[in-house]
Amino acid sequence: ADQSLASLSSSLSLSQSSTPKPKKRKLFTYINSNNDESNNSTSM
C-alpha cells in the first residue's frame, strides 16, 4: 500500500511540474468558489 501511495505522489508531482501554474491556480479558485456556493446554499 505504501509503495502504491509513493508512486502516486511521484506521478502527481510530475503532472504538476508539467502543467502550467496559472491554470492550476485557476482550477483551485474555481473549486473554492463552488465550495463557497454550496456552503451558502446549505446555510440558507
Q: Are 16 and 24 in contact (CB under 8 A)?
A: yes
Angstrom distance (rounded) from CA 37 to CA 12: 28
Q: What is the pLDDT of residue 8?
A: 73
Predicted pLDDT at 39:
58
In this predicted model, what pLDDT tens digit does every residue of 1-44 receive, in sequence order? 677 877 877 776 666 566 556 555 666 666 666 666 655 555 54
- Collapsing DSSP to helix, strand or coil, 5 comes out as helix
- Whether pTM > 0.85 for this model: the answer is no
Query: Rounded to whole angstroms, how far apart are CA atoms 3 and 15?
Result: 18
